[in-house]
Amino acid sequence: MSSEQTKLEQISKICRPQTGEDVPLVLFRAFRHFTADYVAQLLGKRATLVFQNGGRELGREAGKLLKQESLDDYLRAVIGFVRDMRMGILQPRELSDKAIILGLEECLTCAGMDSIGKRICHFETGFVAGIVESFLGNRVRAFESKCNANGEGICEVTVDLTNTMTHE
């Protein structure tokens, strides 16, 4: 990877002239869910950190590329990015000094799945944390407050802004 390119820019280079860029969602989910199961066998409960921190890094890189001065303009850019990448439909639910809550309709990981009784969208949670961190310049705590896979009808990420700390 060249030092001038971000990881996101590097992996965006695709050469599949016959098969194209798109893959069926079920193939992505199979990769994601089977990998999550395997990582959980290896790491136990800490496995979720692998996916959350991967999402956080993507969110930080995307945030740098989408950077805007105002929060409203930044959120519009992020919402467009999430839609264009077909991660889902990001919807701001609450923006305050204490928290940012974003809903994710049509979540890539779990929309349409039957309830499995747990929240599983750790990558998306990390992504939201990363985009917020990129805008604020501070590390934040984020958690999945609702999940389709938990029978809650939507994925939702809550970012706690009451205890931020400066990150590298």
pLDDT at 167 over 80: no
pLDDT at 124 over 90: yes
| Integer Cα distance of 18 and 28 in angstroms | 19
Find the mean pLDDT for residues 46-58.
95
Percent of the chain, pLDDT > 70?
96
Determine the pLDDT at residue 11. Answer: 85
| Integer Cα distance of 59 and 127 in angstroms | 4
pLDDT single digits (tens) 127-164: 999 999 999 999 999 999 999 999 999 999 999 999 87
If DSSP states are collapsed to H, E and C, what string results for 32-51? Answer: HHHHHHHHHHHHHHHHHHHH
| Integer Cα distance of 146 and 79 in angstroms | 19
Mean pLDDT of the chain: 92
* Contact present, 54 and 123 (Cβ < 8 Å): yes
pLDDT at 108 over 60: yes
The label of the residue with tokens 């929060």 reads 71
Determine the pLDDT at residue 2. Answer: 54
pLDDT single digits (tens) 76-103: 999 999 999 999 999 999 999 999 999 9
Determine the pLDDT at residue 9. Answer: 85
Determine the pLDDT at residue 5. Answer: 82
* Contact present, 149 and 160 (Cβ < 8 Å): no
Structure tokens at 162: 């009451």
| Integer Cα distance of 47 and 41 in angstroms | 8
Determine the pLDDT at residue 166. Answer: 62
pLDDT at 4 over 80: no
Find the mean pLDDT for residues 104-113.
96
Domains of the chain in sequence order = 23-166 (3.30.1380.20)
Determine the pLDDT at residue 6. Answer: 84
pLDDT at 56 over 90: yes
